Copies of this chain bind each other. A is one copy, B any other.
């Protein structure tokens, strides 16, 4: 194995899987959120009016539209998001971040940040962290709106 692109892709996926696995347990136990639900809230918070249509959420989260429909339903029951329709296009069903959702998201962000610091630890220099940040940004910047 010498293809540097392949190596990078493998390491990218493995490190992301590891991080997600470590995050997952505490997230559901402490915040009652799956990692994907966390990302859904993050996308909403970043969006104008704190809302996005289901298809737009699906694109940004790399999941199917039906998954967004099914994720939103229980989150709506919990009051983390609410549903809004568009006055001009009756097909659209926005998912809107609520007050409670904002609060919950804020708590979850603490946990996320803690795990992120644990992952990089104090063995990473500021320069290395910024270097990685810059390189990863080239990966996410190209396509869709991202969370950073």
Q: Which residues of A contact B (CB under 8 A)?
A: 1, 3-21, 39, 42, 61-62, 109, 112-113, 115-117, 119-120, 123-124, 126, 128-133, 135-140, 143, 146-148
Instruction: For residue A48, give the distance in angstroms from its CB to the closest CB of chain B.
Output: 17
Instruction: For residue A122, give the distance in angstroms from its CB to the closest CB of chain B.
Output: 10
Partner of A128, one of B124, B128, B135: B135
Most buried by B among A17, A109, A124: A17
The closest CB in chain B to the CB of A135 belongs to B132
Q: Is the interface of A mostly helix, strand, loop or mixed?
A: helix
Are the CB atoms of B112 and A9 closer together than 8 Å?
Answer: yes
Which residues from chain B contact A16 at a C-beta distance below 8 Å? Answer: 12-13, 15-17
Most buried by B among A3, A13, A115: A13
Given contacts A5-B113, A113-B3, contact A137 B11 (CB under 8 A): yes
Instruction: For residue A70, give the distance in angstroms from its CB to the closest CB of chain B.
Output: 18
Which residues from chain B contact A11 at a C-beta distance below 8 Å? Answer: 133, 136-137, 139-140, 146, 148
Which residues from chain B contact A14 at a C-beta distance below 8 Å? Answer: 140, 146-147
